[in-house]
Chains A and B, each alone.
Chain A
């Protein structure tokens, strides 16, 4: 009987759904059935399809079990017996046909992806360095240290066309080159100083305490930092990489350290990611044991170590200068640039700062070569992009797709389209500061420049799909509410400007706005875009500007007609009980928090409008579609109520 591997996902999503117990139960069951020789049960990182978790995958066939519960473990274990049957009820079902699909390679969500950075996520045990080494881990580091000079590494990265995957898409090789240059200059200057003070001549004959003579950080004249401060609501690709394949990030960091001449690396990861922190800690200590970190790595004259710095949850600390301030122990507030961190970063020293995914890409482009890397993607955006696909979409999860794929393909092929038969309205990319793109732009290819040109951005890689039930004004208000709360408060346009904009948006959704307000809103948004200090402020207005651009009619409707076309803005709607549909089940009566529903059991109920707080609980709970959303003036458009699915 061939040996099989049973992969139990231990990403945050699956763990919170009970994957830990499932892993233990499967192990136990396999042992009980005496299959230990034939079945290797393994913990893995995130598979990406978190919506369907907890996931169990049987390799080498690629059998894909979704939403596994502890109760299913016996059946899964039994399936390994010679006469065992696959557990069909756990198969993934296609969103359109409902047909069960047994193998992951047949699921569109996976088959259309081009997993590179995520390749090992879901297949190797993230807490076991040997698992990583088996799949070629640290080969790139070996290659770099044994065969390449720092300059060669940088030129390879430059040639690959890799761009920063934190969102801004700055050419990575260029950044590395600048940092190396600054680092060399810095060291030269320092050596100069030292000669002046005759220090070097003294060092030779002094006893072991001599190290105190050298300035505190002289051996740390350059730093590399991995930015793992993933703050966007809904984005979790950095977390998944750290949880699923931490060594790939470490390897990238070490190579970067070698390339730019740094001896100390930091990983700035949010404390809200405890699992990622834990796995990084394990990975770092294992890498130290194996000699990939520490002194004289791989026997070469190269020292490098990595420290984890846990952030305290400020969104703005994802901004590189704020992140550096935070590591320095100061309040995370962005600084003006230039000077860029590559010249003057942490403690004023040259500092290379890249995103998790950028570092995770390094080993691939070293192993397979810059040409291979550059062969994928578009002309200006090479390689792959990772998105967290969420919102009103059938397949939620993490996807890695080649640059240049269209939005349509992602949403309707990988994503399986909009569920519940609703229509697509817009897609918001790049986190809370991204723009909302309408259906007319669905064929936009995904790359840094096209998205920016359309008014949105690659950003953190969040991709929120919105359907017809979403009010675009409310949606802009929602995101702006987030960004204005997360403003660090330093510069005026961001701090006060976004707040004033939020005020106007609240007026609009509250039905109190006049057409002047819209002009003011747009003016403010443009001014903030032009004058804010950092990326947070400059992009915070994107959701507003794009919704004004692409969904102007919705704004108009709110302002002129005092109507919310999607029926979302509470001030502009009322709830109504249709007496012909209400059978008096009394459920809404019992659930109404403000006692705004009157009526006796088994008789049609009605709403006391003075008391109604428009929480919508009656609408959600009603099993007979008897509660409807309408406009205060009684006129009823084709609203959600009439379309509500049973």
Chain B
């Protein structure tokens, strides 16, 4: 406890803090321009000077730490005089064009001028005459307005660790600058916009800042891109999003965003291609706008014809929990099918299945914020800086604090720059590599015996299994040197707490579940689970993929992973839903396409998904969908999939609806409606409810007709239109809470105060940061014996290269959102196939050449990028670009036996030169 006196005010402090912060927390204003709460003290603007008894001169309060008994004066005449002079110096270099400056009334200089009561300026103006950078994407930089507080440089270096800008030149000529004054596109800049948010003047400003002056309202909601769940503030003017700012209190992001969340939202929300009324396909293939009544009644009539397993529903990880809940309820109670799945099938289904088997729960075991405190971070098959940029920041922060980062990835990704060790293995050899690591741990006796004895099972068989593995074989299979494997094992096993982060590199294999098992083994072996900053952390891709799984948009489980083949569970749901439920587990997404192809599935309802681009083998998916008798797609845009539908229903964007998203760390957060739905578009839950009621009406009619006939299916016995009578999403959440133990204590009332992480079984439960603390969800942690199996297809003479896939920072999924953003298209306009220089040379290809990439299933045309980042024998592409649909090449035929995941990371291909 420290007691200090600031301006006569007694203040008591617990923690080590600066005088400036102590004053701020206690309502004493001290002017400052370079201070920023999240950045290290800088001491450049010199405005926060004070007189402190016993200290020489005029120390800056932002750099002086509180000591017991300090007596501080912050506003004496002398101080104010000095401040006025310093401030005048600042203004003497700042172009005073306030009235035409877009930052007018938001500029921090104005606040300080008012505080100091500056009246007259006596110093001559020193013209800087620096070129204004106004031809870069998203924001302009006019350093004539820069006051060199250094916030942009510091946020870029300290928090973002991009080091895109630093100070250049000396003396009066000092400015923030990219290296060699290159344009931002050619620098390390990732356009996260952190510098824009932090600049106190108009020196760094969004291009269209002028439109966003004086917004009508600011709505806090959740970013619709990745699974991090960043809290954002939408600034609304005239029912339009004019600016997006990060929420400094956002629990997952603490004021940070990435380029997609910061600059990639408003353009797609207000894009001209948004569908604003229901569309019906005409015989000539064109679409005609129709009314909701017409659309719903026709669709309901059609859907009412299909029974149980003839129909399949694909829901979306982009929808809110409430949407997804309603969709699965619709599928199960109205369509009487468990054929409900969503895109998690193509991302983390192996995690859900695998971890459920070994631990009992398939979600991230720990929280995002804990990453920063880990001593070791093992990042496997996850390009976090591109796919989860804000999690990437946490990793960088941990490294800065001395953590050892081990990156295991076939590609040399950006994180390798921060890594203590980088292991580049051949795609698809994860099981061999991770078994090798486990073997070293056991051989060197680095395992946590106590933890294993008390909390795990099947250990002895596992050890026996490991003893058959030889490191020489592992080296041969993976291409990773023995030494590296040994080093990795030792660090992971001894430098605790150690956390594992993984992504699609692990799961998108036909042996994805096996991969998850071996990772799980590692954590159990070393006791790195159930404690802070440890754990097994699958980084979920979509904003609400965790929620969509939680809500039971999976063929085998009801909401909250309650198994449908468990009779007591089914009974509970039947009782609540007041209807009979289909006891047969449904088809997975990949199986739905197979079944559609053979016409066993006849109708499909696809909500917010674009499987044509995201599912493997485009040709197959397309054929399957055209084989359907009836297809309804519900989406914001006329996607490649929607173009094949008989009816397209316009759903609205995240900005137009209320609801909740569950982020990758199981955190349930409120999504708040910021603008009215565009045109006739509606929230997904509302559309589905209407449709459900419509179908039930028809069914009731039918059942009345058939009442005399006792042979009719018992499914039709009950009318449950009331089950879809929701006034708002809050009511839906209440129903979820009633049926789903892990969501049991979650309600909008609680969420509006504080976000909650499931499991949260009752109203008084604070939520759960760390899973498996005392015991595993399934009881004991289960060791799995897993042997390395080569990928289904291996390179041969005809298809000599392995194609693997990745994600780019600037794009998202199939590009339906990001491809609509001008600035992003400028930075990353097209697909590239990355190839190792040695392979390029062998094939006589050079950077910028166009090639045909041919697999056993198709071919696409793409531009070549020669890069050391891929290993010899491997080529790499993203799947964001419809023009070069990478998944057209992928194998749909073979699936992971447990999770039904196809092989999306290893695909043998051949390259042929083509014309530019």
Contacts and interface: CB of A to CB of B under 8 A. Distances in A.
Contact of B148 (A336, A495, A524, A527): A495
Contacts of B490: 206, 209-210, 212-213
Interface in A19-51: none
Contact of B45 (A209, A491, A503, A532): A491
A617 interface: no
Given A492-B86, A531-B82, A485 B45 contact: no
Contacts of A488: 167, 170, 174
Nearest to B402: A215
Nearest to B65: A338
B148 A533 contact: no
Given A491-B43, A533-B44, A496 B126 contact: yes
Given A212-B487, A489-B172, A490-B148, A333 B167 contact: yes
Nearest to A488: B170
B137 to A, nearest CB: 26
A486 interface: yes
Nearest to A530: B58
A496 B44 contact: no
B166 interface: yes
A533 B46 contact: yes
A209 B172 contact: no
B63 interface: yes
Interface string A299-327: 00000000000000010100000000000
B172 A520 contact: no
A500 B126 contact: yes
Interface stretch (B284-292, B491-499, B563-571): B491-499
A491 B44 contact: yes
A351 interface: no
A527 B495 contact: no
Contact of A500 (B44, B92, B174): B92
A636 interface: no
B171 A486 contact: yes
B46 A491 contact: yes
Interface string B154-198: 000000000000110111111000000000000000000000000
B708 interface: no
Contact of B486 (A209, A487, A499): A209
B85 interface: yes
B167 A331 contact: yes
B667 interface: no
A527 B60 contact: no
B44 A492 contact: yes
B124 interface: yes
A594 B865 CA distance: 59
B672 interface: no
A336 B92 contact: no
B863 to A, nearest CB: 36
B797 to A, nearest CB: 40
B123 A531 contact: no
Contacts of A314: 170
Contacts of B170: 314, 316, 485-489
Contacts of A608: none
A499 B93 CA distance: 10
Contacts of B583: none
Interface in A478-528: 484-493, 495-500, 503, 520, 523-524, 527
Contact of A213 (B44, B45, B82, B495): B495
Interface string B558-586: 00000000000000000000000000000
A70 interface: no
Given A197-B495, A213-B494, A524-B85, A489 B483 contact: no
Main secondary structure of the interface of B (DSSP, over half): loop
B491 A492 contact: no
B41 interface: yes
Contact of B60 (A215, A333, A336, A489): A336
Given A336-B63, A489-B169, A503 B124 contact: yes
A484 B57 contact: no
B45 A531 contact: no
Contacts of B477: none
B89 A489 contact: no
Interface in B275-308: none
Contacts of B57: 530
A532 B444 CA distance: 57
Contact of B171 (A198, A335, A489): A489
Contacts of A336: 41, 43, 60, 63
B90 interface: yes
A499 B172 contact: yes
B89 A492 contact: yes
A348 to B, nearest CB: 10
A530 B79 CA distance: 10
Contact of B43 (A205, A497, A533): A533
A213 B172 CA distance: 47
Interface hub of B46, B58, B167 (most chain A Cβ within 10 A): B46
A150 B92 CA distance: 53
B122 interface: yes
A527 B82 contact: yes
B494 A484 contact: no
Contacts of B444: 206
Given A489-B171, A495-B174, A524-B85, A500 B90 contact: no
A527 B49 CA distance: 12
A213 B41 contact: no
Nearest to A529: B57
24 contacts: A210-B490, A213-B491, A314-B170, A331-B166, A335-B43, A336-B41, A336-B43, A488-B170, A489-B169, A489-B173, A489-B174, A490-B167, A492-B90, A492-B148, A493-B86, A495-B172, A499-B172, A500-B92, A503-B126, A527-B82, A531-B46, A531-B49, A532-B46, A533-B44
Closest 7 CB pairs of A and B: A489-B174, A336-B63, A336-B43, A496-B89, A487-B171, A499-B172, A527-B85
Given A199-B494, A530-B82, 18 more contacts: A198-B494, A206-B490, A213-B495, A215-B402, A336-B41, A484-B171, A486-B170, A488-B170, A490-B167, A492-B86, A493-B46, A495-B148, A495-B171, A496-B93, A499-B126, A520-B123, A523-B85, A533-B44
